[in-house]
Homo-oligomer: A and B are copies of this chain.
Amino acid sequence: MNNFQYFAPTKVVFGKGTENEAGSLVREQGGTKVLVHFGSGSAVKSGLVDRVCRSLEEAGIAYVTLGGVKPNPRLSLAREGIELCRKEGVDFLLAIGGGSVIDSAKCIGYGLANDGDVWDFYSKKRQAKACIPVGAILTIAAAGSEMSDSSVITNEEGWIKRGYSSDYCRCKFAVMNPELTYTLPDYQTASGCVDILMHTLERYFSPTEDSMLVDGIAEAMMKTVIHYAKVLAENPTDYNARAQIMWAGSLSHNGLTGCGLVRDFASHQLEHELSAMFDVAHGAGLAAVWGSWARYVYMEKPQRFAQYAANVLGLQVDYSHPERTALEAIKETESFFQSIHMPTSIHEMGIDLTEEQIQELARKCSDNDGRTIGGFKVLNREDMVQIYRMAK
């Protein structure tokens, strides 16, 4: 086990009716003027935004609203939010939505609390020194942004999608009512489940040894997600399934399953380029590339895949040939993706990659050969090309 830091200070308020506590939670945090930030669709139609605003009013807290956040949230809207908040004297950002809305709020928070261009942080030019406090009312179990230190923004100039992580942006509170996710389209529910599974998988496939406790927690998380993703494919309004998935979503990306481990996260990086270029659902993109990543890297440490096979998928391990069990586990994981109608290749998302596009994806993902990705196996630009070709 390596040295590590773990810091997940978000106050989680979980369960039915909890969105009505928004006002008192903002007040507890000392917020006096709130930006209520949301997407374009269901949060408004369902009356959730209105309910949250009423809760703020009842707590005597002033607010302005900014909707219109799109999946793979855009820098331009965040810039607009920064300007609006400066003008209105906003001191608390309340995101109603999933990862996209929360990430957009985090970006606004960085922009408000620091001088200069907010894109500097995402393009790794400099480090943020603060962030205006953010709270979340979660409506999609997927990104885990409600407890994580990360945010991802897409810059429309060049369609570059980049993440920035720091403890400053961790949500002060996260309100999680599983019932708010009942009305998600099946595809988005499934895509969220894949994202959650992958946040744990990307930490689990680590070169670090001696990780029994963290492994066990990760395995419990993955078993739960696989089990309840299938339940939700049949019955989207199963409260317990929604609740298990939602809580797994937060725990899978708040750092818990990575304590003491070198993380991988290559599939995430490969997918970020895909969704920046083609605007695909993040979870679906992850399902489309993961099998190819896994087949490209499994020989680094086939025993790790065998452990996953046994403890998560319940497969029989062939101990004299762990590589056989590894391949079986990869196939079984892809079968799971298919069972919840997720793609296992890029063309299943309606994208027929040309060789030129593959080269461009790898060029961007490697920052023009400026970085490698992955911890389980370190991947350079040429490796990325190979994996995109396999995933095609």
A residues adjacent to B (C-beta < 8 A) = 1-18, 210, 212-217, 219-221, 223-224, 227-228, 240, 243-244, 247-248, 251, 256, 259-260
* Bound complex: CA A220 to CA B41 (Å): 40
Q: Are A16 and B3 in contact (CB under 8 A)?
A: yes
Q: A1-B247, A9-B9 are in contact. List 13 more A-B contacts (CB 8 A).
A: A1-B243, A1-B244, A3-B18, A4-B15, A5-B13, A6-B12, A210-B243, A210-B244, A213-B220, A213-B224, A213-B251, A219-B220, A247-B260
* Bound complex: CA A219 to CA B15 (Å): 23
Nearest chain B CB to A375 CB, angstrom units? 18
Chain B residue with Cβ nearest A210: B240
Q: Are A244 and B212 in contact (CB under 8 A)?
A: yes
Chain B residue with Cβ nearest A245: B213
* Bound complex: CA A9 to CA B254 (Å): 12
Q: In the assembly, how many copies of this chain are there?
A: 2
Given contacts A7-B11, A213-B248, A247-B259, contact A1 B240 (CB under 8 A): yes
Q: Are A4 and B14 in contact (CB under 8 A)?
A: yes
Q: Are B212 and A221 in contact (CB under 8 A)?
A: no
Chain B residue with Cβ nearest A248: B213
Nearest chain B CB to A221 CB, angstrom units? 7
Closest 8 CB pairs of A and B: A216-B220, A3-B15, A9-B9, A6-B12, A210-B240, A213-B224, A7-B11, A1-B243
Q: Are B216 and A243 in contact (CB under 8 A)?
A: no
Nearest chain B CB to A361 CB, angstrom units? 35
Q: Are A227 and B244 in contact (CB under 8 A)?
A: no
Nearest chain B CB to A159 CB, angstrom units? 36
Nearest chain B CB to A355 CB, angstrom units? 43
* Bound complex: CA A18 to CA B5 (Å): 10
Q: Are B243 and A227 in contact (CB under 8 A)?
A: no
| Residues of the B chain whose Cβ atoms lie less than 8 Å from the Cβ of A248 | 213
Among A214, A215, A220, A223, max chain B CB count under 10 A is at A220
